[in-house]
C-alpha cells in the first residue's frame, strides 16, 4: 500500500508539473553534457600529452659556417661532434637518455623539402645552410634542463631546443577550452539546482492538502517527502541518460569518426571512455537532485 501510494504520488507530481519537469530534464541534460565533455576533453589532452611527450626529442643543433652564436667559431668539427656524442652516451647523462640519433645536413634538407614542398622557400635553401643535429630521446621528457645545461654554450653547439615548446601552445588552447566548458557546466548546474528546488517547492505547495491529510492519519515525514524526492531524481536521471547519449554520438561521429581520420597522428578517446564517465554523471546528477530536493522540502513542506 505504501509503495503504491508513493508511485501514485510520483505520477501525479510529474503530470501536474510536466512543463517544469521537462525544463529540469533539459537543463540537466545540457549541464551534464558540458560536464562530461569537459571531463572527456581533459582526458583527451592528457592522452595526447602523454603520447606526444614520449615522442618528442631534444634537438642539439650544431654550428654552421654562418652561425652567430658565441659558442660557434665556424662549422662544428668532427671533434666537436665526437665530444657531444661521447657525453650523451656516458655517465652521468646516459641515465637520462633513451636514444641518440644524428641528423646530417642532407637528411635535414630532405625533411625541409618535404615539409615546405611547393613553397618558394624550399627553392631558396641549400643543404649547407641547414645545421646538423643530435636528436636526443629522454627517459623522462621533464628532464630537458639536464641536457640543456650540459650542452648550451659548448663549443660546436649553436642551440638546444626542446620540441615540447612547440606543442605547449596547442595544449594550452585545449586546456583553456576544457576550463571554459567546465565553467559553463558549473553555471548550468547551479541553474539546474535552482530549477529542481523550485519544481519541488511548487509540487509540495500544490499537494499541501493531500500531504496534510496523510500527516493526520499518521504518515511519516519520509513517506511524505519520498515522492517529491524521487520526482527530482527521475527528472535528473533522464537528463543524465540524454547527456550520455549525446556524448556517445559526439565521440563516435566527431572524434573517432572524423577527427581520427583527419588527424590520425593522435590517440583519441573512444565510446568506452564515455561509458566509463556515464556512471559518474548519473551519480553526480542524483546527488545534486537529492540535495536540492531535501533542502526545498525541509523549507517548504510545512503541513
119 Ramachandran zone, left/alpha/beta (phi>0; psi -120 to 50): beta
Q: Is the separation of the CB atoms in 171 and 164 below 8 Å?
A: no
Predicted TM-score (pTM) of this structure: 0.66
Span 57-162 CATH architecture: 2-Layer Sandwich (3.30)
Q: Is the separation of the CB atoms in 61 and 159 below 8 Å?
A: yes
DSSP-derived secondary structure letter, 77: P
pLDDT, position 265: 65
Parallel, antiparallel or unpaired: strands 58-62 and 133-138: antiparallel
pLDDT, position 7: 57
Return all residues near 13 (Cβ < 8 A) that are at least 6 apart. 203, 207, 227, 228, 231
Burial class, 50, CB count within 10 angstroms (exposed 0-12 / middle 13-18 / buried 19+): exposed
List the domain boundaries for the chain: 2-53+168-300, 57-162
pLDDT in tens, the chain (303 residues): 455 555 565 566 556 667 777 877 888 888 888 888 888 888 888 777 766 766 677 889 998 888 888 888 888 888 989 999 999 888 888 888 888 889 888 888 888 787 777 666 667 777 878 889 998 888 877 788 888 888 888 888 998 888 777 667 777 777 787 788 778 878 877 887 888 777 777 766 666 666 665 566 555 566 666 777 777 788 889 999 999 999 999 999 988 888 878 777 677 889 999 999 999 999 988 888 888 877 776 765 554
pLDDT, position 303: 44
CA-based nearest residue to 195, from 231, 245, 243 = 231
C-alpha cell at 94: 646516459
C-alpha cell at 102: 644524428
Amino acid at each position: 500500500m505504501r509503495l503504491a501510494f508513493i508511485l501514485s504520488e510520483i505520477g501525479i507530481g510529474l503530470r501536474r508539473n510536466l512543463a517544469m519537469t521537462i525544463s529540469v530534464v533539459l537543463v540537466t541534460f545540457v549541464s551534464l553534457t558540458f560536464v562530461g565533455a569537459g571531463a572527456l576533453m581533459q582526458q583527451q589532452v592528457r592522452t595526447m600529452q602523454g603520447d606526444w611527450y614520449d615522442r618528442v626529442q631534444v634537438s642539439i643543433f650544431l654550428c654552421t659556417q654562418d652561425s652567430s652564436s658565441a659558442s660557434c667559431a665556424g662549422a662544428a668539427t668532427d671533434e666537436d661532434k665526437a665530444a657531444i656524442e661521447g657525453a650523451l652516451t656516458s655517465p652521468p647523462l646516459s641515465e637520462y637518455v633513451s636514444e641518440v640519433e644524428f641528423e646530417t645536413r642532407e637528411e635535414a634538407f630532405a625533411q625541409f623539402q618535404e615539409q615546405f614542398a611547393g613553397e618558394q622557400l624550399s627553392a631558396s635553401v641549400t643543404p649547407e645552410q641547414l645545421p646538423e643535429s643530435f636528436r636526443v630521446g629522454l627517459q623522462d621528457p621533464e628532464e630537458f634542463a639536464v641536457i640543456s645545461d650540459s650542452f648550451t654554450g659548448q663549443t660546436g653547439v649553436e642551440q638546444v631546443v626542446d620540441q615540447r615548446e612547440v606543442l605547449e601552445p596547442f595544449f594550452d588552447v585545449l586546456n583553456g577550452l576544457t576550463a571554459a566548458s567546465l565553467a559553463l557546466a558549473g553555471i548550468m548546474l547551479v541553474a539546474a539546482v535552482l530549477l529542481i528546488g523550485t519544481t519541488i517547492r511548487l509540487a509540495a505547495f500544490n499537494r499541501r492538502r493531500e500531504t496534510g491529510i496523510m500527516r493526520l492519519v499518521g504518515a511519516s515525514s519520509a513517506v511524505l517527502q519520498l515522492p517529491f524526492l524521487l520526482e527530482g531524481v527521475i527528472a535528473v536521471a533522464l537528463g543524465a541518460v540524454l547527456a550520455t547519449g549525446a556524448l556517445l554520438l559526439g565521440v563516435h561521429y566527431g572524434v573517432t569518426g572524423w577527427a581520427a581520420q583527419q588527424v590520425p597522428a593522435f590517440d583519441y578517446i573512444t565510446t568506452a571512455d564515455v561509458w566509463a564517465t556515464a556512471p559518474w554523471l548519473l551519480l553526480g546528477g542524483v546527488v545534486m537532485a537529492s540535495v536540492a530536493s531535501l533542502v526545498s522540502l525541509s523549507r517548504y513542506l510545512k503541513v
